[in-house]
Amino acid sequence: MQLRSHRSRQLALDRCLQLLEEAQVRGQLRIDGPLGVSLRRNLEGAGVIADHRLEGRRIDRVLDDIFALQAQLLGQSPEDSRQRNGN
């Protein structure tokens, strides 16, 4: 059961990354209301509660946070994840 929970958390974080990357492709630099709501739902699905507002934050900063959460989930340091993802 723990593997299933781990997998669902990973999928939720992957969805957050997808949403953020799609916003960047559209030329968005900051998180707006609808994107913030979608991210918050996915973060809650990953068992992560946003401790501050997402709206207005720079997308690149939130991407860094999501990569760090993924690294933590995989038991890596954030730097290892960033190198693997080409950041």
pLDDT tens track for 9-57:
899 999 999 999 999 999 999 999 999 999 999 988 888 877 778 999 9
Residue 75 has pLDDT above 80, yes or no: yes
Q: Tokens at residue 63, please?
A: 């991407």
Structure pTM?
0.79
Q: What's the pLDDT score for residue 47?
A: 84
| Alpha helices, H only, 2-77 | 2-25, 33-45, 59-74
Residues 6+ apart with CB under 8 A from 56: 30, 31
CA angle 58-32-23, nearest 5°? 70
